[in-house]
Amino acid sequence: MQSTASNIIIKKVFHRGFPRIGIYFGFDDGLKQKARSLGAIWSQTLKCWYVDYNKEKFEELKRVFPLVTIEGEKKEQETTPAPGLGNSHDIAPIALRQSKSDLLATGASEHNSPKADEQVVLNAVYLSEKGKYWIVKVPYNEKISKALKSIRGVYWNNTHKAYMVYRNLAVKTRVEAVLSMPGLLPDSYWTGDSPDVDNGVISIEVHEADKRFMQVKLPDVSAVIQIVKRFTGSRYSKAQQCYLLPSSPQVLSNIEKLAKDYGIKIETNLPDKYLNKRYTPSIRQVELARAMDSVRNLTPPGSRVVVDAFTDHLLATNKSSSTIKSYSQALISFLRYTGYRDLLGIERAEIVKYLGKMILNGFSPSTANNCVNALNIYYREILLVPHFEIELPRPKKESKLPVVITQEECVEIFMHLQNPKHKMVIMLAYGTGLRRSELVSLKWEDVLFDEYKIHVRSGKGKKDRMVMLPYSIVAALQSYRDLYKSSVYVFEGQYKGEPYSAGSVAAVMKRAVIAAGLEKKATVHTLRHAFATHLLETGTDLRFIQALLGHSSIKTTTIYTHLTKKGVDKIQSPLDKLMGGKNEKLL
């Protein structure tokens, strides 16, 4: 049965925390093509097509679908939606008004709480119910976040970026009181067990195979499991049916805090002096362990000897975790292509044919080059083939100019960041030109306030370097430190001693770019490009920029000479000269 125009329903929905116009209709290829012509995207979660929530998209939608039903129109609306688009009856509108501030140079502490004479209107959004929980979206506010997490029966779901609220009258009353929104949650209470029942026990035991770890058995609480998975150095043991965590006092302290947050009992059966501070893993150790686990999971049984020898060599030569993963995956793909034959019996022509097939199948030249590098290392350094003379062809890399944003666009991004940590990490990315991995691994001991410098340790290529600490951000950074009180990392995760996730930084940037209304596809790395380009435009020597960015070759840095507007803006097109004077009427 095909859909008709009258079957098309549009309403306000929320996708990944942002308002969208949801378009609902049955299976119809014609309507799907029309939706795609609008730039609509299919959401598997919401089971609908969606576009941005703005007036332009709504008018365009009405032109493509003249007859639609707008679900949930109201005469009285709590906020003003996009013109012509009513609020959905089952999704309350978001309104977030906070006091405006200058950029973080005024001090991050002012974001901690509103002033006494300012009123913060923080409207939460009830999304739906799932099992024994209501799902509620709440705009970020530090005090309200802490108050919600202190309520028994409420927990933060990081996957959906929403609060899960136990469907209970007492819990409902407390949540609505914290949010100052009576009637937000429905009366569909859960008739099963109360959240005050025993949620199980976290059991901590000795790991006999390796005293550097302890065995942690968790109750079947999804939120707790997801958090423990993200602990630095965490891995699951199928044999022991438990998580193995580093046996350090800091990790145990984080587990105790987690148990307290979720009202779970904890039983610790560790002997005295079992925990040791030196077992606390570094980020590099964790990344290497994860890379090795990833490679082992990909390795077929028949090629395990070959791949193990390859990864052992990469580890011994101090290759990075990303290099180990990419080179190992390239070698495994080639082994699969050859049917796991002995590499000594493979001719040069077969290797060239494989590389050509990769390009034909749409793989990037960089991926093909990884294969070339991996094979070179294996033949020359592991097999030690005498007089190895096969010169593998190097696919030519595509020369693409990176996206660069203007200083005005940078300001727009900064102004749409309210959380102090989010604003500081994004501003520091632009102000220092650090890579995302360097930002999250930055420690307070490496921030030299007196010298206005930052010591970057073991950056890309295992190289240390010094970069500038912007004068304008020093006071704000010190205020931020007093506010968050992190001990080791400048940007700490949810639990003490845990570094902030690189994925979280990327998500923060993505939301800020969308909120600022930028059409450019800007990422955290785009801020690094902007840092270099803007320095070049102000006359900074290219060699200094190379040192600040940590580039091994000046050729890498010269890409920014193609991005700067300093010289291009002074060049006049020959068409402009031709059209001047007596020829200006040619158009």
pLDDT, tens digit (0-9, with 9 covering 90-100), for 213-250: 899 999 877 778 878 887 877 888 887 888 988 888 88
Residue spans of the domains in the chain: they are 5-70, 201-279, 283-382, 407-562
The residue that leads in pLDDT, 322 or 497, is 322
Q: What is the reported pTM? A: 0.50
On average, the pLDDT of the chain sits at: 77
Percent of the chain with pLDDT over 70: 79
Rounded Cα–Cα distance for residues 207 and 89 (Å)? 54
Residue 205: pLDDT over 80: yes
The secondary structure of the chain in percent helix, strand, coil, rounded to multiples of 5, reads 45, 15, 40
Residue 255: pLDDT over 60: yes
Residue 7: pLDDT over 80: no
- State residue 216's pLDDT score: 92
- State residue 394's pLDDT score: 61
Lowest-pLDDT range of 150-154, 226-230, 457-461, 507-511 = 457-461
The C-alpha angle with vertex 468 and arms to 464 and 470, in degrees rounded to 5, equals: 150
Query: Are 186 and 209 within 8 A, CB to CB?
Result: no
What is the mean predicted confidence (pLDDT) over 269-280?
84
pLDDT in tens, 509-560: 999 999 888 888 889 998 988 888 888 888 888 888 888 888 877 777 777 7
User: Residue with structure tokens 């900064």?
Assistant: 414
- Which active-site residues does the annotation give? 435, 460, 525, 528, 551, 560
Lowest-pLDDT range of 255-264, 404-413, 524-533 = 255-264
- State residue 88's pLDDT score: 35
Q: Which CATH superfamily is domain 407-562 in?
A: Intergrase catalytic core (1.10.443.10)
Backbone dihedral region for residue 106 (phi beyond 0: left; psi -120 to 50: alpha; all else: beta): alpha
- State residue 4's pLDDT score: 47
Any idea what DSSP says for residue 69? E
Considering the domain 201-279, what is its CATH architecture? 3-Layer(aba) Sandwich (3.40)
Residue 14: pLDDT over 70: yes
Q: Does domain 5-70 fall into CATH 3.30.450?
A: no
SS3 label, residue 488: coil
Residue 83: pLDDT over 60: no
What is the mean predicted confidence (pLDDT) over 378-388?
76
Residue 293: pLDDT over 50: yes
Q: Return all residues near 117 (Cβ < 8 A) that are at least 6 apart.
A: none
Residue 111: pLDDT over 80: no
Q: Buried (b) or exposed (e) across 239-248, using 16+ Cβ within 10 A?
A: eeebbbbbbb
State the fold for domain 283-382.
DNA polymerase; domain 1 (1.10.150)
Give the confidence band of 195 by pLDDT, cuts at 50, 70, 90.
Answer: very low
- State residue 564's pLDDT score: 65
- State residue 582's pLDDT score: 56
